């Protein structure tokens, strides 16, 4: 385990209109990640944004 796993456990994930998923960023708190996801989501594009904790869906880093 490295320091970034411990200090940045929250991910913002983007899914485009073709179903492809991308990691947008890693954040220290859920609130910080949610703020970024909400900001990106409010732009009105077809992409979906959500917050996940590392390890929530089998992700390790």
Tell me which H or E stretch contains 30: helix 30-41
Per-residue pLDDT at 4 exceeds 60: no
H and E: helices and strands count for the chain = 2, 3
Tell me the pLDDT tens digit for each residue of 6-55. Answer: 589 999 999 998 999 999 999 999 999 999 999 998 887 778 999 999 98
* CA R_g for the chain: 12
Q: Which spans in the chain are helix H?
A: 3-7, 30-41
| Residues pairing with 18 in the sheet | none
pTM of the model: 0.75
Helix, strand or coil, per DSSP, at residue 60: coil
């Amino acid at each position: 385990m490295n320091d970034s796993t411990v200090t940045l456990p929250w991910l913002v994930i983007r899914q485009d209109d073709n179903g492809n998923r991308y990691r947008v960023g890693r954040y220290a708190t859920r609130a910080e990640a949610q703020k970024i996801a909400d900001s990106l989501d409010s732009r009105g594009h077809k992409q979906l944004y959500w917050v996940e904790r590392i390890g929530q869906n089998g992700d390790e880093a």
